[in-house]
C-alpha cells in the first residue's frame, strides 16, 4: 500500500544481460517492505520452531490484541507524519481520553456507546487544538507538541488526582474479548480503521493534499493546496485515532488508568518507520505500518515465550529499531546507487 | 539601542536577548509573588531546597542545550542519567569501588553513551530524533535489566555525605553546577571547539565549507551532552542517597523547557547559559511555589507545559520582529527617487 505522489521514480533497467536471479534480487531490493518482511519471517520461523506455544490459539489471540492497539496508535502518528510533523502528545491524549471515558461512564452513567463517541470527539478536539496552535501562531510544531503533551497530561493528573476507573459496564468490557468468526473484534476494528486511513491517503483528494503538504509544503501551497488546513486536519485525525486506541485499550484492560498510553511513544514512531514511511513526510505506508506493529508485537511475545525478563524488552526494541533503520537506509542507497 | 547599531547586529540582538531577559523577568515576578503570599518561601531551608533541585535541573538542561545549540536534539538525556546513576550505585554497593573512581567511571559511561548517539546520527544519516528515541529505549532497558527495577540502597557514607555538604551555607552540589556553567560558558565563548559547535548549529553547510569538521563536531557535542546527563544523574543520586532506576524518567520535558524558556534556539547556532539557568530556576520556582501554596503537585506538568508554550510564543514574536526589520531594510535599500519599472 504505497502512497507516494510522483516521487520515488523507478527507472527501467536498460540492461538485457541480467541473470534471472539478479532480476529477482533487484525486484526484492526495490520492494518497500523488504526489510520488515525479512525480519518478520525470520523471527516468526525461529519462534514457531523453537517454541510450540507460539502457535497456540491463546498466544495468537494475545498477539492480535497487541497488534490491534499498537496499529491504531501508529496510525495516529502516521496521520501527522504524512504532513511531516510529529505528535508527541499522542500518549497524553490517549491517557486523557481514556480517563475521561471511564469518568463519564462511572460518574454520570453515560451509556458506553455514547461515551465512545464523546471520547473520540474529545480526542479530535485535543488534536485540533494542537493543529490550530501550530498553524495560527507559527510556533515551532515540536515545541507546541511537547508543551501540549505536558499540559494534557498535567491537566489529566490534576483533575483525576491519579484515580483509575474500574467499574465499567460488563457489556463494554465484553467487547475486549469478543470475536467475530474467531477473529477478535478489536482487530476487526483496527483493520477497519487502517482501511479507512489507507483509502483516505490513496483514493481521496484530501489524502493526496496531505501527502503533498508533507512532501514539500511550499510547493503544495504554490499549487493551491491550503496547507494550513491540511496540517489542522492531520492533527485532528491523529487525536481521533489516539482516542480510538485509548478506548480499545480500556476495553481490553477493563479499566481506565492514568498510566494508559505511557508506552506508546516509541512504537508509534517505530511501526511506521519500520514499515517504510518517511519521518520527513509525504510518504505513508499503512500496510507496512501494520507489519511494523506486528514485528514489535512478535518481538515482545518472543521474549515472554523464551522466559526473558520483561525488563530487557526496551533494550531489544531499541536495538531492533536501530538495526532496521540502518538496513532500510542501506537498502534505499543500494537501490539509488544501482539505479534500480 | 544605539544609533550606530547596524541592521544585522540589531536583528541579532532582538533575536537573542529576548529569551534570557523574559526568563529573568519571570523569575523576578514569581519570586516577588511567592515572597508576598507564602511566608515560608524566604526561609533559608527553602533556599537550600531550591538550590538542590536547581543544581540537578540546570545540568539536565545543559545536556540538552549543547545538542540544541549544535542543531540536534537528544531524547536520551534522561535514559543516560538513569543508567549512569545505577551503574555508579552498583559499582559502589556490589563491587565496593571507592566513590571517586565510581563517579569518574559514571561520567565516562555517559560520554560513551552520548558518543554512540553521535556516531549513529553521523554514520547512518538518520535524524537525531529517531536515533535518540531508539537509544533512549536501549539505555533504559539496560538500566532496568541490570537492576530489575530495584534501587541500590547501601551506598558508602563517604559518597552520601556529598549530597548534604555545604560551603558557607551553599550546597556543594549547587557550586558544582555553577562550575559546570562557567566551564560551558568558557567553552562556547572563548574556545575554538565551542565556536565550531555553534557554527555547525547555525549553518551546517557553511560550517563545512569553512573547514569545520562537521561529523566530528556532532559526535563531540553528543558525547558532551551524555557527560552532562551523567553528571546530573550522579548529582541526583548523591542528593537522594539512593541509586534509583527511575532517575531520569521525568527529565525529557524540563530538559527542553529550560533551554527554550531561556532563549536557546531550537534551530541551533545560539545558546545562553545564564538564560538556561534562569529557565531552570523559573521551572524550579513554579514547582516550589505550588508546594508552598499547598496546590496539588499534579498540576506542575500543566504549568510547565503552558510555560513552554509561552516561551515558544515569545520566541516567535522575536522571529517575526526580525523578519519585519529585514523587510524594512530591503525596502529602505531601494532608492526612492529611482523610477519604478513598468510605471
Residues of B in contact with A157 (CB under 8 A): 298-299, 301
| CB-closest option in B148, B302, B304 to A158 | B302
Q: Min CA distance, B269 vs chain A (Å)?
A: 16
What percentage of chain B exceeds 70 in pLDDT?
92
Min Cα separation B195/chain A (Å): 25
Asked if the model's pLDDT at residue B341 lies above 70, the reply is: no
On the CB side of B186, CA atoms within 13 Å amount to 6
Which phi and psi angles does B166 have, rounded to 5°?
Answer: -130, 150
Residue B305 and residue A152: Cβ atoms within 8 Å?
yes
Lowest mean pLDDT among A66-75, A189-198, B129-138, B314-323: B314-323
Query: Across B43-52, B133-142, B298-307, which has the greatest mean pLDDT?
Result: B133-142
Residue B10 has pLDDT above 90, yes or no: no
Nearest to A326 among B124, B253, B308 (CB): B124
Band of pLDDT at residue B168, cut at 50, 70 and 90: confident
- Quick one: pLDDT at residue A61? 85
Segment of A223-227, A317-321, B25-29, B79-83 carrying the highest mean pLDDT: B79-83
Judge whether A236 lies within some domain: yes
Contact between chains at B148 and A154 (C-beta distance less than 8 A): no
A4: left (phi over 0), alpha (psi -120 to 50) or beta: beta
B250-308 pLDDT tens trace: 898 889 888 888 878 777 788 888 889 999 998 899 888 888 888 887 888 888 888 88
Domains of chain B: 16-327 (1.10.3470.10)
CA B110 → CA A77, B104, B117, B255, B286, distances in Å? 31, 10, 11, 16, 29
Q: Closest partner residue to B301 among A142, A153, A321, by Cβ?
A: A153
Q: Is residue A126, in this structure, part of any structural domain at all?
A: yes
Contacts of residue B118 in chain A, CB cutoff 8 Å? none
How high is the pLDDT of residue B340?
Answer: 55
Report the pLDDT value the prediction gives residue B11, as an integer from 0 to 100. 65
How many structural domains does chain A have? 1
- Dihedral sign for Cα A255, A258, A259, A260, please: positive
Distance between CA A187 and CA A68 in Å, rounded?
A: 5
Range of the domain at A71: 34-42+51-337
pLDDT value at B4 more than 60: no
Mean pLDDT of B21-40: 84
Q: Please determine, for residue B338, whether its predicted confidence score (pLDDT) is greater than 60.
A: no
CATH of the domain at A144: 1.10.3470
| pLDDT averages per 10-residue partition of chain A, 340 residues | 46 61 82 81 86 81 90 95 92 93 88 91 96 91 91 88 85 84 88 94 92 90 90 96 94 87 88 85 89 89 82 86 83 79
Number of Cβ within a 10 Å radius of residue A274: 29
B26 Cβ contact list (under 8 Å, min separation 6): B261, B278, B282
Gap between the Cα atoms of B195 and B220, Å rounded: 13
Hey, of B64, B130, B318, which one would you mutate to test binding to chain A, going by the most A CBs within 10 A of its CB?
Answer: B130
Nearest-CA distance from A25 to chain B in Å?
24
Any domain includes A329: yes
Let me know if residue A10 belongs to a domain: no
pLDDT at B8 over 80: no
Amino acid at each position: 500500500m504505497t502512497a507516494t505522489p510522483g516521487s520515488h521514480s523507478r527507472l527501467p533497467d536498460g540492461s538485457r544481460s541480467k541473470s534471472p536471479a539478479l532480476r529477482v534480487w533487484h525486484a526484492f531490493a526495490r520492494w518497500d517492505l523488504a526489510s520488515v518482511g525479512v525480519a518478520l519471517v525470520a523471527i516468526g520461523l525461529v519462534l514457531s520452531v523453537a517454541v510450540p506455544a507460539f502457535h497456540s490459539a491463546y498466544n495468537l489471540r494475545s498477539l492480535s490484541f497487541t497488534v490491534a492497539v499498537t496499529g491504531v496508535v501508529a496510525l495516529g502518528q502516521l496521520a501527522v507524519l504524512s504532513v511531516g510533523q510529529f505528535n508527541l502528545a499522542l500518549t497524553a491524549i490517549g491517557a486523557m481520553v481514556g480517563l475521561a471515558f471511564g469518568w463519564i461512564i462511572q460518574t454520570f452513567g453515560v451509556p458506553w456507546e455514547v461515551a465512545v463517541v464523546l471520547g473520540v470527539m474529545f480526542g479530535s478536539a485535543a488534536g485540533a487544538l494542537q493543529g490550530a496552535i501550530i498553524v495560527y501562531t507559527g510556533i515551532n510544531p515540536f515545541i507546541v507538541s511537547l508543551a501540549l503533551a505536558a499540559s494534557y497530561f498535567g491537566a489529566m493528573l490534576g483533575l483525576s488526582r491519579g484515580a483509575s476507573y474500574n467499574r465499567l459496564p460488563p457489556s463494554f468490557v465484553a467487547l475486549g474479548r469478543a470475536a467475530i468468526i474467531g477473529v477478535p473484534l478489536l482487530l476487526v476494528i483496527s483493520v477497519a480503521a487502517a482501511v479507512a486511513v489507507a483509502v483516505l491517503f490513496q483514493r481521496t483528494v484530501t489524502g493526496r493534499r496531505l501527502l503533498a503538504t508533507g512532501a514539500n509544503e511550499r510547493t503544495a501551497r504554490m499549487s493551491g493546496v491550503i496547507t494550513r488546513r491540511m496540517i489542522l486536519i492531520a492533527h485532528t485525525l491523529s487525536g481521533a485515532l489516539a482516542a480510538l486506541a485509548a478506548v480499545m485499550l480500556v476495553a481490553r484492560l477493563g479499566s481506565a488508568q492514568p498510566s494508559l498510553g505511557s508506552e506508546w511513544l516509541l512504537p508509534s514512531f517505530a511501526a511506521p518507520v519500520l514499515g517504510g514511511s518517511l519521518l520527513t513526510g509525504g510518504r505513508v505506508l499503512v500496510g507496512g505500518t501494520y507489519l511494523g506493529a506486528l514485528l514489535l508485537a512478535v518481538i515482545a511475545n518472543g521474549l515472554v515465550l523464551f522466559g526473558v525478563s520483561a525488563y530487557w524488552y526496551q533494550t531489544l526494541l531499541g536495538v531492533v529499531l536501530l538495526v532496521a533503520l540502518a538496513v532500510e537506509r542501506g537498502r534505499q542507497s543500494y537501490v539509488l546507487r544501482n539505479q534500480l | 539601542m544605539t544609533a550606530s547599531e547596524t541592521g544585522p547586529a540589531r536583528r541579532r540582538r532582538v533575536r537573542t536577548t529576548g529569551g534570557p531577559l523574559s526568563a529573568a523577568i519571570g523569575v523576578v515576578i514569581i519570586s516577588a509573588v511567592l515572597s508576598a503570599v507564602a511566608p515560608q518561601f524566604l526561609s533559608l531551608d527553602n533556599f537550600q531546597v531550591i538550590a538542590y533541585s536547581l543544581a540537578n535541573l540546570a545540568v539536565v538542561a545543559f545536556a540538552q542545550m549543547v545538542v540544541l545549540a549544535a542543531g540536534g536534539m537528544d531524547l536520551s538525556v534522561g535514559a543516560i542519567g538513569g543508567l549512569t546513576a545505577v551503574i555508579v550505585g552498583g559499582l559502589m554497593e556490589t563491587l565496593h569501588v571507592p566513590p571517586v573512581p565510581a563517579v569518574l567511571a559514571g561520567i565516562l559511561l555517559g560520554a560513551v553513551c552520548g558518543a554512540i548517539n553521535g556516531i549513529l546520527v553521523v554514520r547512518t544519516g538518520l535524524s537525531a530524533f529517531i536515533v535518540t528515541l531508539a537509544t533512549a529505549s536501549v539505555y533504559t532497558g539496560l538500566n532496568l535489566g541490570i537492576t530489575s527495577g530495584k534501587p541500590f540502597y547501601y551506598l558508602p557514607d563517604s559518597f552520601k555525605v556529598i549530597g548534604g555538604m555545604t560551603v558557607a551555607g551553599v550546597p556543594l552540589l549547587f557550586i558544582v553546577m555553577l562550575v559546570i556553567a562557567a566551564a560551558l560558558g568558557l567553552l562556547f565563548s572563548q574556545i575554538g571547539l565551542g565556536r565550531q559547535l555553534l557554527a555547525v548549529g547555525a549553518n551546517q553547510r557553511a560550517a563545512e565549507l569553512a573547514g569545520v569538521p562537521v561529523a566530528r563536531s556532532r559526535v563531540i557535542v553528543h558525547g558532551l551532552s551524555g557527560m552532562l546527563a551523567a553528571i546530573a544523574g550522579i548529582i541526583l543520586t548523591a542528593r537522594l542517597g539512593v541509586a534509583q532506576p527511575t532517575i531520569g524518567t521525568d527529565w525529557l520535558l524540563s530538559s527542553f523547557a529550560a533551554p527554550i524558556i531561556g532563549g536557546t534556539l531550537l534551530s541551533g547556532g545560539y545558546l545562553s547559559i545564564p538564560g538556561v539557568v534562569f529557565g531552570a530556576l523559573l521551572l524550579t520556582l513554579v514547582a516550589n511555589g505550588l508546594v508552598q501554596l499547598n496546590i496539588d503537585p499534579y498540576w506542575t506538568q500543566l504549568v510547565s507545559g503552558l510555560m513552554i508554550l509561552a516561551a515558544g510564543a515569545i520566541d516567535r514574536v522575536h522571529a517575526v520582529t526580525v523578519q519585519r526589520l529585514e523587510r524594512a531594510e530591503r525596502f529602505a535599500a531601494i532608492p526612492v527617487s529611482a523610477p519604478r519599472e513598468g510605471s
